[in-house]
Amino acid sequence: MSNTERMSAVDTTWLRMDQPNNLMQIVGILELEPPVILERIENALSERLLRFDRFRQRVEDRSGILWWSEDLQFDITRHIKRVRLPTPGGKGELQRYVAELAMTPLDPNRPLWQFHVVEHDRGGATVVARIHHAIADGMALLTVMLSLVDGEQVAMTNRRPPSRSREAGLLESILRPVSEGLRFSGEVWRKGLGLAGDPTQTLRQGTSIAAELAHLALMPSDSQTRFKGQLSGNKRVAWTDPIALPDVLAVSNALGCSINDMLLAAVAGALNGYLEDNGDETKGVEIRALVPINLRPPGIVRELGNRFGVVAIELPIGLANPLARLYEVHRRMEALKSSFEPPVTLGLLEALGYAPKIVQDQVFELLLSRASAVITNVPGPREPLYLAGSKIRQIMYWVPQPGEIGLGVSILSYNGQVQFGLITDAALVPDPEAIVARFEPEFDQLLYFVLLGPGGEEWPEERIEKKAKPERELKSRKRRLPRAVRAMPKQEPR
């Protein structure tokens, strides 16, 4: 890539989507276990990030056309900073710091990224990154993340730069399951990739695509809840401790659902509980979430920019029974496997990049007002990674919310564990930790009900009979379940 490059129409769309109360910045953290040598972390970040020309480039407007142009006054100290949190410097202070960064604009006259190395009194460190969505989407930023790590598991005394072939292999193993998460059929996936290959033609591909576009334009708004309203621009963030991925896999296999179904059902249950705790009516409530879907062809692993479409999924918040909620999520996700929504929305993003900003704003106001949340699910590396010799204990990120959407849910798996992150607008949800605290208990209920089997009028008896594995198989999995779940008393489902 040359040092000057015209910005793609899709990336232009994301750059222009910034609003004072919703910045299009992807914010993430890498939590490092001690020992950590801060100078080595900073040097590694500097050396490895600048392999990508994009991290030396600023946005330049030439007669209304946007270009990525080399910053002739580039100074790495503007982009990599060392920080010490206020006492006591724990998770609460880190959450507030991450939220502050999420609502602080990047300097538009400089490359649109910053990394903050947060020093811990206890010897570790947390790297907080914020990168504008115009540079790359979540899947492309995995390329960036894997360019930072040391390579195969190394000790402090045995560091070496990452292997390009290993990096590509890791990314391929991550990208391959993305389509399987939504269970798209192979035919539809190939069609979607074909349309995404020429996104300016997407909106002229016949009746199926026209119907998808009409559906997007005419779909009614979701339920009016406290998750929808006037935004303040004051952000709050929270995240869970990791949950063992084998436990999620065991239950999903037992119930005949995907891991993605399980995770989305847990999100729906957590939102249901939060509404009920605040005295809100939940019966019949549906919350529409926008879910990004990667549309990169296999083999494209080192290309930055944005290459994804979006599907809209209605979460059945009003279903109180956890298993009924899971199967309804499963049913709805299965219905999306023949959807053209992802390539249609990619084509729409491309078309809007060529249109005047006022047109883009009007279209997004129409579409985004029908949703309350953005939910992303990124399958990360399955093995532990190291940065400058320090083990990365936890990875988390927070998805930006376009328009007037005030709720962003991020799901990420890493090193055999899965975790949830939440970013909210304080005017709507001032205490996201109250929602985050419900994710694992909601999942534990599904584990619990797998052991007990169906009971009560609310249970979808026919579906359970069709999908659940034999009782002896469920019992054989009991040893793999968390001790706290095995000890739970038997009770009727609520």
pTM confidence score: 0.79
Q: Of 211, 377, 309, which is closest to residue 13 (Cα–Cα)?
A: 309
Mean pLDDT is lowest, of 103-107, 128-132, 225-229, 255-259, for 255-259
Mean per-residue pLDDT over the chain, rounded: 78
Q: What is the pLDDT of residues 378-407, one digit of tens each?
A: 888 888 999 999 999 999 999 999 888 999
For residue 280, being part of any structural domain is answered with yes
Q: What is the pLDDT of residues 234-262, one digit of tens each?
A: 999 999 988 888 888 888 888 888 888 98
User: Is residue 204 located within the same domain as residue 112?
Assistant: no
User: Is residue 269 located within the same domain as residue 143?
Assistant: no
Token pair for 33: 């276990």
Mean pLDDT is lowest, of 74-88, 286-300, 302-316, for 286-300
User: Is residue 129 located within the same domain as residue 45?
Assistant: yes
Provide the pLDDT for residue 211: 52
Checking if the pLDDT of 377 tops 90, the result is no
Cβ atoms of residues 378 and 421 within 8 Å: no
User: Is residue 114 located within the same domain as residue 253?
Assistant: no
Domain CATH for 303: 3.30.559.30
Provide the pLDDT for residue 205: 43
> Over the range 87-98, which residues count as b (16 or more CB within 10 Å of their CB) and which as e?
eebeeeebbebb
Percentage of the residues of the chain whose pLDDT score is greater than 70: 74
User: Is residue 250 located within the same domain as residue 294?
Assistant: yes
Mean pLDDT is lowest, of 77-91, 279-293, 354-368, 388-402, for 354-368
Token pair for 321: 């029974």
User: Is residue 116 located within the same domain as residue 223?
Assistant: no
User: Is residue 227 located within the same domain as residue 83?
Assistant: no
Provide the pLDDT for residue 254: 85
Provide the pLDDT for residue 177: 36
For residue 397, being part of any structural domain is answered with no
- Residue 228 or 210, more confident: 228
**Starting at the edge strand that comes first in sequence, how are the strands of the sheet with 65-70 ordered?**
4-6, 65-70, 57-62
User: Is residue 216 located within the same domain as residue 144?
Assistant: no
Using the 3D structure, point to which of 102, 137, 172 is the last residue of a domain.
172
Token pair for 419: 């975790």
* Chain center to CA of 426: 20
User: Is residue 465 located within the same domain as residue 364?
Assistant: yes
Query: Any residues with CB less than 8 A from the CB of 328 and at least 6 apart, and which?
Result: 316, 319
- Residue 196 burial (CB count, 10 A): 23
Domain CATH for 138: 3.30.559.10
For residue 444, being part of any structural domain is answered with yes
At 490 the three-state DSSP class reads coil
Give me the residue label for tokens 């990047």. 106
User: Is residue 335 located within the same domain as residue 301?
Assistant: yes
Token pair for 262: 């399980």
DSSP string, 271-327: HHHHHHHTT---TT--EEEEEEEE-PPTT--S--B--EEEEEEEE-TT--SHHHHHH
For residue 446, being part of any structural domain is answered with yes
- Residue 190 or 53, more confident: 53
Q: How many domains would you assign to the chain?
A: 2
For residue 395, being part of any structural domain is answered with no
Range of the domain at 373: 195-382+403-486
User: Which amino acid is residue 166, in one-letter code?
Assistant: R
Identify the band that residue 467 occupies on the pLDDT scale cut at 50, 70 and 90.
very low
Residue 245's alpha-carbon distances to 53, 133, 252, 482, in angstroms, are 36, 28, 11, 12
Checking if the pLDDT of 141 tops 60, the result is yes
User: Is residue 160 located within the same domain as residue 213?
Assistant: no
